[in-house]
Structure 1
Amino acid sequence: MEKKILIIDDDARNIFALALTLKTKGYPCLSATSAAEGLELLKHHPQINLVLLDMMMPDMDGNQTLTAIKGDSRYAHLAVIAVTAQAMRGDREKCLEAGADGYIAKPIDVDKLLQLLKEHGLNAREHG
């Protein structure tokens, strides 16, 4: 089963740019513009292996979403990487303390993101 990345971000432009970048690098993606939609996708797509989670969203924020994902035994295998524009001192630690498996600041450094994906066992699909 092919591993997929789920992007949860309330800004469709962020999703578009990130998904396009990942797809061109060989990473298949799904996306959701709300935490509720993202949690619903997780239920129906067991091939999701990693979540890129925007921490600043209306309704359910990243911390609440992280708690929902990490608190569900069905998703214990998932790596969740916090994605945030809040690149203040201490934000990385807060995200990791909340249960994130990694952290990356916006604007996203693609090389750093690709390194994080590799650290969590995701390798780009080879293009033939």
Structure 2
Amino acid sequence: MSGRTSNPADSGTSLQVLLVEDEPADAHLVRLAFRESQLDIQMDQVVDGLDALAYLKKDPPYEQAATPGLILLDLNMPRMNGREFLAEVKKDAGLKRLPVVVLTTSDAEQDIESCYESGASGFITKPIDIDQFIHVIKSLGDYWSNVLKIPRQD
């Protein structure tokens, strides 16, 4: 990875997002919000931390997976939960720079603190209202696509 930064809107490239979410309804809403945002966002989804690690390391069946510019992470999942996944990613030299935003139903201060201490780039509590949920995801997509400068994933 180079020290140069990139902005998907400046470079004509899309933002690749990996959604780590086991709840089909929430995954559907995230897809819908990104589609409605009209931003150039490509999203893949896996259902737990083990699949997410395999995706990031391009283990089978993810050999052709794109390196994400953003990971959206639920905390409560089977097999390997979001906390365990975040710890694994942040201790891996090849993965630790990937931005991870926690997207969860929790609003517990302990969860917020532990996620930031573990290296999360952000923490969002999923709104219960569908319109608010879509608005939050659209805003997140705009922020990551048009506002932030992030290191290139060379």
Scaled by the length of structure 1, what TM-score is found?
0.80
Q: Could you list the runs of 5+ residues in structure 1 that have no partner in the other structure?
A: 123-128
1:29 maps to: 43
Q: What root-mean-square deviation, in Å, do the aligned CA atoms of Structure 1 and Structure 2 show?
A: 2.2
The reply to whether residue 69 of structure 1 matches residue 96 of structure 2 is: no
Q: Distance in 1 between matches of 2:72 and 2:55?
A: 13
Scaled by the length of structure 2, what TM-score is found?
0.68
The reply to whether residue 3 of structure 1 matches residue 15 of structure 2 is: yes
1:56 maps to: 76
Q: Which stretches of structure 1, 4 residues or more, deviate above 4 A after TM superposition? A: none
Of residues 97, 104, 113, the one that matches 2:117 is 97
Q: Could you list the runs of 5+ residues in structure 2 that have no partner in the other structure?
A: 1-12, 59-64, 128-132
What percent of counterpart residues are identical? 25
Query: Which of the pair has the greater relative contact order for Cα pairs under 8 Å at 6+ separation?
Result: 2
Structure 1, 69-78 or 111-120: larger mean CA deviation: 111-120
Larger radius of gyration: 2
Structure 1, 113-122 or 12-21: larger mean CA deviation: 113-122
SS at match of 2:107: coil
SS at match of 1:4: strand
1:126 maps to: none
User: 2:103 is aligned with what amino acid?
Assistant: V
Of residues 128, 138, 144, the one that matches 1:117 is 144
